[in-house]
Structure 1
Amino acid sequence: MAHFNKPAAGSWTEHYPELGTGPVDFTDSTDPAFYADELNAIFKKTWLNVGRVERLPRKGSYFTKELTGLNTSLILSRGTDEEIRAFHNVCRHRGNKLVWNDYPGDETEGTCRQFTCKYHAWRYSLEGELTFVQQEGEFFDLEKAEYGLATVRCEVWQGFIFVNLDPDAQPLADYLGTMLKGVEGYPFDEMTEVYSYRAEIGSNWKLFVDAFAEFYHAPILHMKQAVKGEADKLAGYGYEALHYEIDAPHSMISSWGGMAPPKDPSMVKPIERALRSGLFGPWDKPDIEGLDALPPGLNPARHKAWGIDEFEIFPNFSLLCWEPGWYITYHYWPVAVNKHLFEANLYFAPAKNARERLAQELAAVTFKEYALQDANTLEATQTMLESGVVTHFPIMDQEVLIRHLHVHAQKKVKEYRDANAAR
């Protein structure tokens, strides 16, 4: 895996000449035709993370995932053979949604021995086989073996469950590439205490990825969340990341921060000192194997002040590993050209006492406040982009991952359009 250490004079962007350095076209976030092609070219042909294996702890466990923008719903289940599978959530009889509770648009989870349709009681095994048809004798030459649930490609990487709507897609490991290979071995499976947030955002999905793919904004947008001394320091010196890397279609940013406890107690709030926690998570690293000797892909700059690595797994999955020993995932699910569903999950090692639990709670609510500040700018951005007054925008060196995201998305849509035109 190649790593670049930025020289005193130069830029991160120059390592990726295919991205260029000119203004970036943002009509990819406002054009309905581009959005429609983006769904077909990217989301219907790319590996998408839909959760973790801890949500399927035993045989018969299942959960559903609504992919509203893609006009489908999925069932993820662990079969009697322990295999994790994915199916389209549709009964083969008359097309009713198979697994749902009171409201068909809501996601659900649980444990069962089989899936039974609410409409006519057709039944399917955990492996997707049609096992029972009500009044089967009145159908015409019905072969149950031909009417199992419609399967979806499903593979697992480091406990993360991925699906792909394209049955001919390359294997997941090949898609993730060498950069993500360097993360393997991190103890994700030890961090099972989860805090979750979900919000509908009035912007194109790429704009929220943009917001988290750079910290250039942090000293300004989040200034009021820090004590005055820390805010003045950040505003005065700006921001410089430790490392950027692109392994197309994926990318990553490595940053300082999260070192605890702070050398100067006055630089944090009283409640943070009391609970030994804050935005960067609990200060006390959990006692779990795998945190002392990190995988080679983390902290690529080998910097003593390293605090966080954020991996942007194309198209819509962000994975953030924090130095104090916890991690976050973000998902950005497109709903319309100007709307998406944002999901955030914070993962900690299970707390051993009340103080550790409160430390996690503080980290979770602090994160929520910061995330709301990021989201607050997005609808204003979307509105003005849609005005069409300005369509191309200058992107600085610290925003190289933003440049990469838009250039790569536009490339994939162009390839899709060219292929269709050639038919």
Structure 2
Amino acid sequence: MAHFPKPAAGSWTENWPELGTAPVDYTDSIDPEHWKLEQQAIFRKCWLNVGRVERLPKVGSYFTREMPSVGPGTSIIIVKDKDGVVRSFYNLCRHRGNKLVWNDYPGEEVSGACRQFTCKYHAWRYALNGDLTFIQQEDEFFDVDKADYGLKPVRCEVWEGFIFVNFDDDAEPLIDYLGDFAKGLEGYPFHEMTEVYSYRSEIRANWKLFIDAFTEFYHAPVLHMKQAVKEEAEKLAKIGFEALHYDIKGQHSMISSWGGMSPPKDESMVKPIERILHSGLFGPWDRPDIKGVAADELPPAINPSRQPFWGQDSFEFFPNFTLLIWAPGWYLTYHYWPTGVDTHIFEASLYFVPPKNTRQRLSQELAAVTFKEYALQDANTLEATQTQVGTRAVTEFPLCDQEVLLRHLHHTAHRYVDEYKEANGLTKAATNGSTAHV
């Protein structure tokens, strides 16, 4: 295993002086009024990733997404229309407001394919582009023009096969919002990695606390000791873990790390089943036979410091989309969908090139189940964090240099809330003083 010298304190944080070095106030993770402001200022204003284009393989393919982070009951339809355009609409009939697309249970997400959408209540019909095409007993209505009652659209744009929506009609274009990180990732073969394993869990912790856990590796040799064999765990606990590179561009950030090398330099340091299947927590060891994943083929945003021992990059696209790209040629996504100040839905998906044989399939499955254990360890710890921060006995906490992206996340979330309050004439008194600053 390669060892990297510990940099001097402040070697990363000092690059972004606006973040400061003082303890960070975590009131933003426990104040219900602040959460309500985040809902309006962030989740109704920012671009939100809702899936991949592979979920829409043909004309008429659709899926729904429940969006409690945007507002109670909010549901949307994402569909590929007859021209191949990916569109999004509120999942709501324009007649009497019934939920338009659902199966047995209105609260569950569904997917499928159709030629048109038909309301279960009174059979109003809508084309794939949202136009109202049929009104049952139309002559019973008073001066109704079907052109005025199409489905209400939600802004929808696609980047590198990732589908994003935005509930703010005045928001900047997606590519401008995603910025330099996204431009530097263009060309990576995401479209080749269509074998997907997904997990979803309801977490009793604030959405930012979970992102905090995945933007630093300071905890890795402690919390995840049991993921490694005894000798490796002891080494990690002793020397700690230092990332290779951090970067911040506007509201987005990234962390680059060693680890995930393929294959490991010392196979005796991994578990027997990992040696047999050539896989583990960092994914399959054997690189897929596709273009775009070799070290000399990677887009410029990946492994930006060009480290020979690079293993993975984690891109944090604000507010709630994490994209991890692994050296062996696969990627992982996280989504954090807040449902309240101290609850959120965590979604994780692992994307691989489809296996060509049984060994490759088992290699991917081992990575998926190993990852699940790893993520549950983080989730369990964060629920314990939420209960104690919620007591307000202590609300300010010191962060080390490795936790610079945590500072950035809370700073950015506050900035959005502060700008929203200023634009809407909200005073500190009107919001119950819920504007504690980082």
CA apart distance, 1:190: 0.1
In structure 2, give the amino acid aligned to 1:380: A
In structure 1, give the amino acid aligned to 2:334: Y
Residues of 1 paired with 2:372 and 2:103: CA distance? 29
CA apart distance, 1:10: 4.7
In structure 2, give the amino acid aligned to 1:313: F
Cα gap change, 1:214 to 1:7, in 2 (>3 Å): closer
CA apart distance, 1:9: 6.8
- Matched with 1:53 is 53
Find the residue that maps to 2:121 and give its secondary structure.
Answer: coil
Residues of 2 paired with 1:422 and 1:238: CA distance? 45
Residues of 2 paired with 1:415 and 1:264: CA distance? 51
Task: Find 1:373's aligned residue among 372, 377, 389.
Answer: 377
Q: In the TM superposition, what are the counterparts of 1:264-413 in structure 2 within 5 Å?
A: 264-292=266-294, 293-413=297-417
Cα gap change, 1:54 to 1:290, in 2 (>3 Å): same
- Matched with 1:209 is 211
- Matched with 2:179 is 177
TM score, norm. by length of structure 1:
0.97
Task: Find 2:252's aligned residue among 238, 250, 253.
Answer: 250
- Cα pair 2:45 2:171 within 8 Å, conserved: yes
In structure 1, give the amino acid aligned to 2:92: V
Residues of 1 paired with 2:337 and 2:169: CA distance? 21
Residues of 1 paired with 2:257 and 2:68: CA distance? 34
CA apart distance, 1:7: 6.5
Task: Find 1:230's aligned residue among 214, 229, 232.
Answer: 232
Residues of 1 paired with 2:100 and 2:321: CA distance? 27
Find the residue that maps to 2:399 and give its secondary structure.
Answer: coil
CA apart distance, 1:263: 2.5
Q: In the TM superposition, what are the counterparts of 1:185-200 in structure 2 within 5 Å?
A: 185-200=187-202
- Matched with 1:138 is 140
Find the residue that maps to 2:49 and give its secondary structure.
Answer: strand
In structure 1, give the amino acid aligned to 2:194: T
Cα gap change, 1:359 to 1:234, in 2 (>3 Å): same
Residues of 2 paired with 1:400 and 1:281: CA distance? 27
CA apart distance, 1:198: 0.1
CA apart distance, 1:348: 0.1
Find the residue that maps to 1:387 and give its secondary structure.
Answer: coil
Residues of 1 paired with 2:51 and 2:342: CA distance? 24
Find the residue that maps to 1:421 and give its secondary structure.
Answer: coil
TM score, norm. by length of structure 2:
0.94
Residues of 1 paired with 2:248 and 2:286: CA distance? 32
CA apart distance, 1:224: 1.2
- Cα pair 2:94 2:149 within 8 Å, conserved: yes
Residues of 2 paired with 1:179 and 1:286: CA distance? 24
- Matched with 2:433 is none
Residues of 1 paired with 2:181 and 2:31: CA distance? 32
Residues of 2 paired with 1:54 and 1:234: CA distance? 39
Residues of 1 paired with 2:9 and 2:378: CA distance? 31
Task: Find 2:149's aligned residue among 135, 147, 168.
Answer: 147
In structure 2, give the amino acid aligned to 1:336: G
Find the residue that maps to 1:274 and give its secondary structure.
Answer: helix
CA apart distance, 1:232: 0.6
- Cα pair 2:78 2:86 within 8 Å, conserved: yes
Structure 1 outlier segments of 4+, above 4 Å: 6-10
- Deviation by residue 1:111-146 (Cα, 9 ceiling, x = unmatched): 000000000000000000000010100000010000
- Cα pair 2:206 2:338 within 8 Å, conserved: yes
- Matched with 1:259 is 261
Unaligned runs of 5+ in 1: 1-5
Is 1:21 paired with 2:35? no
Percent of counterpart pairs with the same letter?
70
- Matched with 2:35 is 35
CA apart distance, 1:260: 2.1
Residues of 1 paired with 2:264 and 2:173: CA distance? 44
Residues of 2 paired with 1:415 and 1:354: CA distance? 53
Q: How many residues end up aligned between the 2 structures?
A: 418
Q: Report the RMSD for the aligned CA atoms in angstroms.
A: 1.2
CA apart distance, 1:368: 0.2
- Cα pair 2:43 2:69 within 8 Å, conserved: no
In structure 2, give the amino acid aligned to 1:25: D
CA apart distance, 1:100: 0.3
My pick for the range that moved more, 309-318 or 254-263, is: 254-263
In structure 1, give the amino acid aligned to 2:392: G
Residues of 1 paired with 2:238 and 2:27: CA distance? 33
Cα gap change, 1:96 to 1:9, in 2 (>3 Å): closer
Find the residue that maps to 2:424 and give its secondary structure.
Answer: helix
